[in-house]
């Protein structure tokens, strides 16, 4: 099958999330950017969080606003408690509330195990795991204060944790990253159990290999691309829109009974592709 056929376009129903307020962290690049735009296409008002490069965040805001919804760029480092608290407070003041938190911001600091510094370990855990904890906690306070508004959604709030196939696939040379995503899985499931009685739905999306700046080395030469495709039964590298579509769907009331699930969006990467021809 032709591996150049990409993610489907024009598939987001424009009123699916009408009237909802969403915040996406790390939304000026890659998956976060596509997700923020996807939520806007679905009718949500969107806060675009960024930690660096205000211009690219403003560009995302302009694109979202072109769909007739409200958008704004808020600067905050998700690993800093005071900044996350201030960001969610500001959103509640300026947008009235929050219905959807997409804890997407993440990074890699790769090194062979014996060369990995404590600073590399700590940075990845601080952003990828503690950052999601802080964002989920602050959103949850507002979800609980407000409760369910039936005209808006069946749920009092939705949290999407951006995980990775590396929450279950070990990854040599990336022990900090794989550990952070393993932590995200258990954090998400524990929060889902704790918050479900409050009608708050917590779920995760676990991307496979998606073309973004975080993993450019894995797809930007023909050899790298060919090697990567061997790991993907669906025979195409994922695009940020593939993840955006999954997040929009999971946040919508179509998925109201989905609680504590990880949706793997990976073209089959977690299906042990090495066993496709025997084993
Ligand atoms: P990306 O580098 O394009 O985007 C990451 C975003 O997070 C950037 O906007 C960056 O500025 C932001 N960020 C980093 N540290 C931050 C902080 N302290 N505070 C706020 N924002 C911060 O990479 P991406 O591929 O779009 O990654 C997005 C998420 O998807 C990450 O959690 C990543 O682990 C996950 N993911 C990506 C892939 C992939 O193949 N691209 C696969 C699995 C999981």
Could you report the per-residue pLDDT of 164-189, keeping only the tens digit for each?
999 999 999 999 999 999 999 999 99
pLDDT category, 3, cuts 50, 70, 90?
confident
Distance 48 CA to ligand 1 centre (A): 13
Note the residue count of the chain: 279
Average pLDDT, the chain: 97
**pLDDT value at position 205?**
99
Instruction: State the closest ligand 1 atom to the C-alpha of 31, by its place in the atom list counted from 1.
Output: 26
The pLDDT tens digits for 17-29 are: 999 999 999 999 9
List the Cα angle 2/225/232 in 5-degree steps.
65
Q: Which domains does the chain have, with CATH numbers?
A: 21-265 (3.40.50.720)
Pocket test for ligand 1, best of 107, 109, 166, 206 (most atoms within 8 A of CB): 107
**pLDDT value at position 2?**
67
Average pLDDT over residues 215-224: 92
pLDDT category, 269, cuts 50, 70, 90?
very high
**pLDDT value at position 234?**
97
**pLDDT value at position 60?**
98
Pocket test for ligand 1, best of 24, 30, 50, 242 (most atoms within 8 A of CB): 30
Average pLDDT over residues 254-270: 98
Instruction: State the closest ligand 1 atom to the C-alpha of 78, by its place in the atom list counted from 1.
Output: 19
**pLDDT value at position 175?**
98
Instruction: State the closest ligand 1 atom to the C-alpha of 52, by its place in the atom list counted from 1.
Output: 11
**pLDDT value at position 87?**
99
Instruction: Name which residue sits closest to atom 3 of ligand 1, judged by CA.
Output: 30
Instruction: Name which residue sits closest to atom 32 of ligand 1, judged by CA.
Output: 106
**pLDDT value at position 5?**
86
**pLDDT value at position 1?**
63
| pLDDT cut 90: percent of the chain above it | 95
d(CA 231, CA 235) in angstroms, rounded, equals: 8
**pLDDT value at position 72?**
99
Do strands 100-103 and 262-265 pair parallel, antiparallel, or not at all (unpaired)?
A: unpaired
Q: Is the pLDDT of residue 279 over 90?
A: no
Q: What is the pTM of this model?
A: 0.98
Average pLDDT over residues 6-17: 95
What is residue 130's DSSP assignment? I
Long-range contacts of 253-257 (CB under 8 A, 24+ apart): 253/153, 253/154, 253/155, 254/16, 255/201, 255/203, 256/154, 256/155, 256/201
Q: Is the pLDDT of residue 233 over 80?
A: yes
The pLDDT tens digits for 69-99 are: 999 999 999 999 999 999 999 999 999 999 9
Q: Give the three-state DSSP class for 42.
A: coil
Average pLDDT over residues 35-63: 98
Residues with CB under 6 A from ligand 1: 25-26, 28-32, 49, 51-52, 77-79, 104-107, 127, 131, 162, 164, 207, 209-210, 212-215
Q: Which residues are annotated as catalytic?
A: 177
Average pLDDT over residues 194-206: 99
């Amino acid at each position: 099958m032709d591996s150049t056929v990409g993610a489907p376009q024009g598939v987001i129903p424009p009123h699916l999330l009408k009237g909802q307020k969403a915040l996406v962290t790390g939304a000026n690049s890659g998956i976060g950017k596509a997700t923020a735009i996807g939520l806007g296409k679905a009718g949500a008002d969107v806060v675009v969080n960024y930690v660096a490069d205000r211009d690219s965040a403003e560009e995302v805001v302009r694109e979202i606003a072109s769909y007739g919804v409200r958008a704004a760029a808020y600067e905050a480092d998700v690993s800093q408690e005071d900044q996350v608290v201030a960001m969610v407070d500001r959103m509640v003041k300026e947008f009235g509330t929050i219905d959807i938190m997409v804890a997407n911001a993440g990074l890699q600091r790769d090194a062979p195990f014996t060369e990995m510094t404590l600073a590399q370990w700590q940075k990845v855990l601080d952003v990828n795991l503690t950052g999601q904890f802080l964002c989920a906690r602050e959103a949850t306070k507002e979800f609980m204060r407000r409760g369910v508004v039936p005209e808006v959604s069946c749920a009092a709030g939705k949290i999407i944790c951006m995980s990775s196939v590396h929450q279950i696939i070990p990854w040599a040379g990336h022990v900090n990253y794989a550990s952070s995503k393993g932590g995200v899985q258990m954090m998400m499931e524990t929060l889902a159990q704790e918050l479900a009685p409050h009608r708050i739905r917590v779920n995760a999306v676990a991307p496979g290999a998606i073309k973004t700046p975080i993993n450019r080395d894995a797809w930007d030469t023909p050899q790298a691309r060919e090697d990567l495709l061997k790991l993907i039964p669906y025979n195409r590298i994922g695009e940020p829109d593939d993840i955006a579509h999954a997040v929009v769907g999971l946040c919508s009331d179509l998925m109201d009974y989905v609680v504590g699930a990880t949706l793997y969006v990976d073209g089959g990467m977690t299906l042990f592709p090495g066993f496709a021809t025997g084993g």
